[in-house]
Structure 1
Amino acid sequence: PKNAEDVLDMCEILFGKDFLETHAVTTGNCNGNSPLVWDQVMLGAMRAFCRRNQPVLCSPFVLGGANTPASTAAAVAQLNAEALSALAYTQVIRKGCPAIYGHYLSTVSMQSGAPMAGTPEISLMNFMIGQMARRYNVPWRTSNLLGGAKIFDAQAGYESAMTMMAVLMSGANYIWHSAGWNEAGMHCSIAKFVVDAEVCDMGYRMTKGIQWDDFDEALAAVRDVGPGGHYLGHPHTQANFERAFFIPKLFDNNSIEQWYADGSKDIKQRALEHARRLLAEYEEPMLDIAKDEELRTYIDRRSREIPAVDALNEEY
């Protein structure tokens, strides 16, 4: 709870107390201890965020088969009860404060006990949770582009793509864990991070749906070109080619001859080169000098006040 208060104090310094009352500037993530427990640490943090009118994620942490029943439907039933109890509690703290139906989904290997990501059951859970959240008319959060692979390989891509499609189709409102996640979230791949960012761009394009604003002009082009022609030089193509179809930056769609000419680089090589360019070109956003000094003063004071880790260990 005190850590949450520190975060919110710094947000108040940066944005102002009145601004926090009417705007979401940070999000608290409170994980339940499944099965069926909300501990005092998480509830204390939840109270801190709700009192400042900042949104909190009420997030049961699902390890399917370990802390939930080994059943997709029953796991969602338990998760739903846990999430709803926390959502209700936020309104006891402060009626009308923002809160989000949250969760973290994984299944557990019945062979090794290791958490798994990108499995069909996780997608099915997302479909069910999306339906439940809409039934209660509350926004909901899920995770995206997670995989169980240990490196950025085909497994990582397949699992991540399967998860993302389910997340998009289930209508999630707030999506976390969308870039770089491997080994069910245990480590981050820089190469996967930048590729996932492009995949998220593709997903965002897909959720915008079909564009109809140029439909009549496009059909007119069919009449103009007629049988056996091509559209490359048509005015409609020239006016719309940049927005008509998604143009990836990291995925290679050239001919194999062009791919050879460009150095036969696989996606990991291209991704790491792109990441290095991003880091080289990065410009740190600057804070207002007075706000920056006030924040640093607060951090210095709290660093002196917070007991050292060793002292805490000795106490316990």
Structure 2
Amino acid sequence: GSTAPIKEAGIMAQINAEVLAGITLSQLVNNGAPVIYGSVPVRARMDTLGDSYGAVETSQYNIDCVQMARFYKLPNYSTAGVCDTKTPGIQTSVERLFSDILVTLSGPQYLHCAYGLLDGNSVFCLLQAVLDDAHFQMIRFFLRPPRINETEIAEVLKQIRAVAATPQKLYISYIRRVMRSGEISMPYPFEGDGEADNVFALAYEKMQQLLSKPVEHIDQATTSKIFREIPGILPRLNVYEEGR
């Protein structure tokens, strides 16, 4: 809508041309250099023409790029979980989970999930990071391959026959072993008591627990090696630097 056409066909045609041009240039400079099909397509806001990361189309465009990368048989870098809001809340959760789930299911090889980032990726919020961690665990659990094979089927059939022969017809005695194995998901970690919704209060408590723990830094020798061998890292980020 600003630097690319507002219609899906237009923005995808432009993105594809730009990505392929970059890939071509990299091969001209260094033939055989490993590349990825990476892009961060975002729809423009209609009021300010700024980025609208929370728009439905933003997720749609990212999924389109995943499909284009698959067409060219290239690994894909995509984006999800970005939102327009400045503070954690219902809108933030809706925008983030909507894109997190859909873009993840489209199958990119590399996915930037905007961990803890708000306001179009311009602000990091530790409380949001705590929430994101819980939500990522849910998505990760959902994406596990199904455990359906001959062994599982035989075991389930055995359970069904055994339970069907009992008067109560309940499978309660089989639950504990499955819970211990991690095969079923645990309750939402910030679940309220009864009908109360205490998500943000409980997430805040979790955040305070994390902040109370001692900070673990990379050891000084490794840190010095990183700053010595990787140019461009700001010296002030070195926790062992004199005067800090």
Please, which runs of 5 or more residues in structure 1 have no aligned partner? 1-64, 257-263, 305-316
SS of the aligned residue for 1:138 comes to coil
Contact 2:116 2:125 in 1 (8 A): yes
Aligned to 1:215: 153
Aligned with residue 240 of structure 1, among 175, 178, 186? 178
Which stretches of structure 1, 4 residues or more, deviate above 3 A after TM superposition? 253-256, 285-288, 291-300
Report the CA distance shift for 1:232/1:135 in structure 2 as closer, same or farther (over 3 A): same
Report the CA distance between 1:239 and its aligned residue.
2.0
Q: SS of the residue aligned with 2:173?
A: coil
Alpha-carbon distance in 1 for matches of 2:191, 2:223 = 43
Task: Look up the SS of the partner of 1:244 in the other structure.
Answer: coil
Residue among 199, 219, 224 paired with 2:162? 224
Using structure 1 for the length normalisation, give the TM-score. 0.65
Deviations 1:144-195 (A, max 9, x none): 2111122111101111111012211211110114321222222222211111
**CA gap 1:72/1:252 in 2 versus in 1, 3 angstroms:** same
The alpha carbon displacement at 1:223 in A equals 2.1
Pairwise CA distance, 1:118: 2.6
Note if contact 2:114-2:121 (Cα within 8 Å) is conserved in structure 1.
no
Give ranges in structure 2 of 5+ residues lacking alignment: 236-244
Task: Please give the per-residue CA displacement for 1:229-266, whole angstroms capped at 9, x wherever unaligned.
Answer: 222222xx22212422221452317644xxxxxxx672
> In structure 1, what is the Cα distance between the partners aligned to 2:153 and 2:64?
35
1:292 shift after superposition: 3.8
Letter in 2 for 1:174: Y
2-side partners of 1:220 and 1:254: how far apart? 37
The match for 1:266 among 198, 221, 224 is 198
Task: Tell me whether 1:161 sits opposite 2:82 in the alignment.
Answer: no
Letter in 1 for 2:154: D
Question: Once the 2 structures are TM-superposed, how far is the Cα of residue 224 of structure 1 from its aligned partner?
Answer: 1.8
**CA-atom RMSD in angstroms:** 2.8
Out of 98, 105, 122, the residue aligned to residue 186 of structure 1 is 122
**Aligned partner of residue 41 in structure 2, secondary structure:** strand
Question: 1:178–1:200: 8 Å Cα contact kept in structure 2?
Answer: no
Inter-CA distance 244–296: structure 2 relative to 1 (3 Å threshold): closer
- Mapping 1:255-294, distance limit 5 Å: 255-256=194-195, 266-287=198-219, 289=221, 291-294=222-225
Report deviation, 1:267.
1.4
1:204 offset after TM fit, Å? Answer: 1.7
Aligned length: 230
Q: Is the 8 A contact 1:181 1:187 kept in 2?
A: yes
- Trace 1:121-200 onto structure 2 (pairs within 5 A): 121-200=57-136
In the aligned structure 1, how far is the partner of 2:8 from the partner of 2:14? 10
CA distance in 1, matches of 2:131, 2:208: 13
Partner of 1:6: none
In 2, are the aligned partners of 1:179 and 1:194 still within 8 Å (CA)?
no
Matches within 5 A, 1:11-30: none
- The CA distance in 1 between the partners of 2:155 and 2:217, in whole Å, is 43
Aligned to 1:37: none
1:193 and 1:286 mapped to 2: Cα distance? 21
Picking from 36, 52, 56, the partner of 1:120 is 56
Equivalent residue for 2:47?
A: 111
Q: What CA distance in whole angstroms lies between the structure 1 residues aligned with 2:228 and 2:121?
A: 34
**1:131/1:265 CA distance change after superposition, 3 Å:** closer
The answer for the alignment partner of 2:137 in structure 1 is 201
Q: TM-score, normalised by structure 2?
A: 0.82
8 Å contact 1:73–1:125 — kept in the other structure? no
Distance 1:209 1:282, change over 3 A: farther
